[in-house]
């Protein structure tokens, strides 16, 4: 069960095509019906002089069709500074419209994706153009996490008599990515039992490294470079420096996207991205499991490109109705996970399936750190009854977490506090 998604090509622009429709307006249909009524009345009453009453109507229709019905021959460009923005950030969008013909009055509406909130200005305007003239509409949106696609710009024209209406959609594809907010956190990794390679995480194992540990008597076989000559002169014995060995851990980040924890999914995504940044800064290789209907597995790697790829995938995470995380994790452990890796499991632990997944990780001998955003701290009670219900649910949650502590280190995260505070509270216990 491995999903191999293809990253989209970032950047604005794209194909520009037009979908056009130009029916008569209701006013025009009423005028034509009146015209037919005049002609029919003149025919029935044999009053041919009444036909002259239809001439002003025919003249107005002729003028509207001949002089006030443009082809809406325009060029459209959407300008956004970048293609990636932090969630919650405000972004300026500029829509440039250039008319290649005279257009007396043109209504322009940019089709803003649902995930973007307009906070300043408006994506709609009514403008007039001379041939070759260019004008711009500027507005600001607030970005939410995810991939947001602008598909097109709608152009609407009515002639001054309101006889004709032309609708045209200029398909102009622009993609904007809202990445999760990231904060600085220090991950409480455990290096015991992991593979020994060069890395930044010190372990209690004594050996050759760069972090000073203690001074001891010289032992046969010690290299001369670790002899502490000052201590030797002071004690009269040959003394050597002792260093901590260094180890590098493979870290697997597992994100539970179950529908039941939808209220704190954004917090889970932010936590995973923040912990990945810590791994990147420490030079630690890491992988990602995003547990959705079809799990997304990003193999263990390191570096900035790998980090941004994982963050892009996290940005697309959506709540999953049929979450089978326990089965998915057991399958990946048997087929993909490196041995003796450190697992960081980000889950509100709301479902029996998610709690079973933790037990499976522990049963295979992996050391697990659980970052568990508390869903009840993300809810503001509106009555005394709701407040009491939340307290009862919180007590039930604490009972579940107490039973699960034998399977890993659990950080019960009150989402009203920064993540680093929640981690520090657990480490200080």
Q: What is the DSSP string of 154-165?
A: EEEEE-TTS-BE
> 24: phi > 0 → left, psi -120 to 50 → alpha, else beta; which?
beta
Which residue, chain included where needed, has tokens 């005049």?
38
Q: The tokens of 273 are what? A: 């991205």
Mean pLDDT of 189-202: 46
- Whole-number pLDDT of residue 184: 86
Q: Does the pLDDT at position 16 exceed 70? A: no
- Whole-number pLDDT of residue 276: 93
Neighbours of 269 (CB within 10 A): 25
Q: Does the pLDDT at position 394 exceed 80? A: yes
Q: The tokens of 418 are what? A: 């920064």
Q: Does the pLDDT at position 354 exceed 70? A: yes
Q: Does the pLDDT at position 6 exceed 50? A: no
Question: Tell me: domain 16-45+68-179, CATH 2.60.40.10, correct?
Answer: yes
- E strand or H helix at 266, and its extent? helix 265-282
- Whole-number pLDDT of residue 62: 63
Question: Helix/strand/coil (H, E, C) string of 301-330?
Answer: ECCHHHHHHHHHHHHCCCCECCCCHHHHHH
If pLDDT is split at 50, 70 and 90, which confidence band does 74 have?
confident
Q: Does the pLDDT at position 240 exceed 80? A: yes
Can you tell me whether residue 296 is helix, strand or coil?
A: strand
Mean pLDDT of 69-81: 84
Return residue ranges of the chain for CATH 2.60.40.10: 16-45+68-179
Mean pLDDT of 220-248: 78
DSSP 227: B
For residue 394, give every residue at least 6 positions away whose Cβ sits within 8 Å of its Cβ, in sequence order, or none: 374, 376
- Whole-number pLDDT of residue 4: 36
Homologous superfamily of 251-427: von Willebrand factor, type A domain (3.40.50.410)
Can you tell me whether residue 136 is helix, strand or coil?
A: strand
Sheet holding 74-80, edge to edge: 74-80, 90-99, 134-143, 116-121
Of 189, 136, 126, the closest CA to residue 158 belongs to 126
Q: The tokens of 280 are what? A: 């990147």
If pLDDT is split at 50, 70 and 90, which confidence band does 248 have?
low
Q: Does the model's pTM come out above 0.75?
A: no
Neighbours of 191 (CB within 10 A): 20
Return residue ranges of the chain for CATH 3.40.50.410: 251-427
Lowest model confidence (mean pLDDT) among 27-31, 148-152, 302-306: 27-31
DSSP 83: S
Of the ranges 198-202, 243-247, 298-302, the best mean pLDDT one:
298-302
If pLDDT is split at 50, 70 and 90, which confidence band does 152 have?
confident
Q: Does the pLDDT at position 429 exceed 60? A: no
For CA atoms 120, 123, 124, 127, the dihedral sign is positive
Percent of the chain with pLDDT over 90: 40
């Amino acid at each position: 069960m491995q999903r191999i998604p293809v990253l989209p090509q970032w950047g604005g622009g794209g194909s520009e095509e037009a979908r056009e429709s130009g029916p008569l307006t209701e006013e025009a249909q009423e005028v034509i019906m009146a015209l037919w009524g005049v002609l029919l009345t003149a025919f029935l009453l044999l009053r041919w002089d009444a036909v002259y009453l239809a001439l002003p109507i025919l003249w107005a229709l002729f003028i509207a069709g001949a002089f006030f019905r443009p082809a809406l021959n325009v060029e459209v460009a959407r300008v956004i500074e970048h293609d990636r923005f932090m969630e919650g950030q405000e972004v300026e969008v500029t829509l440039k419209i250039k008319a290649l013909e005279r257009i007396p009055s043109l209504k322009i509406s940019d089709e803003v994706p649902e995930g973007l909130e307009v906070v300043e200005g408006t994506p709609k305007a009514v403008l007039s153009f001379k041939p070759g003239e260019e004008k711009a509409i500027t507005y600001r949106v607030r970005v939410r996490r995810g991939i947001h696609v602008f598909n097109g710009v709608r152009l609407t024209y009515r002639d001054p008599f309101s006889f004709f209406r032309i609708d045209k959609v200029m398909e102009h594809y622009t993609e904007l990515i809202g990445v999760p907010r990231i904060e600085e956190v220090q991950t409480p990794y455990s290096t015991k039992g992991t593979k020994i390679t060069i890395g930044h995480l010190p372990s209690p194992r004594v050996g050759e490294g760069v972090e000073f540990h203690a001074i001891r008597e010289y032992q046969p076989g010690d290299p001369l470079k670790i002899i502490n000559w000052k201590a030797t002169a002071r004690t009269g014995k040959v003394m050597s420096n002792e260093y901590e060995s260094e180890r590098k851990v493979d870290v697997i980040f597992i994100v539970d996207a179950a529908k039941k924890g939808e209220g704190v999914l954004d917090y889970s995504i932010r936590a995973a991205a923040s912990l990945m940044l810590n791994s990147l800064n420490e030079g630690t290789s890491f992988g990602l499991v995003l547990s959705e209907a079809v799990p997304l597995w990003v193999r263990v790697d390191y570096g900035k490109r790998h980090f941004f790829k994982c963050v892009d995938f996290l940005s697309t995470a959506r709540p999953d109705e049929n979450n089978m995380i326990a089965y998915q994790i057991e399958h990946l452990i048997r087929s993909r996970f490196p041995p003796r890796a450190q697992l960081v499991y980000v889950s509100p632990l709301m479902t029996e399936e998610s709690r079973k997944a933790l037990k499976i990780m522990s049963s295979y001998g992996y050391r697990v750190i659980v970052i568990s955003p508390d869903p009840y701290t993300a809810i503001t009670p509106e009555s005394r009854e709701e407040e009491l219900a939340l307290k009862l649910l919180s007590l039930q949650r604490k009972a579940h977490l107490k039973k699960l502590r034998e399977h890993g280190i659990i950080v019960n995260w009150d989402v009203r506090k920064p993540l680093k505070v929640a981690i520090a509270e657990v480490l200080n216990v």
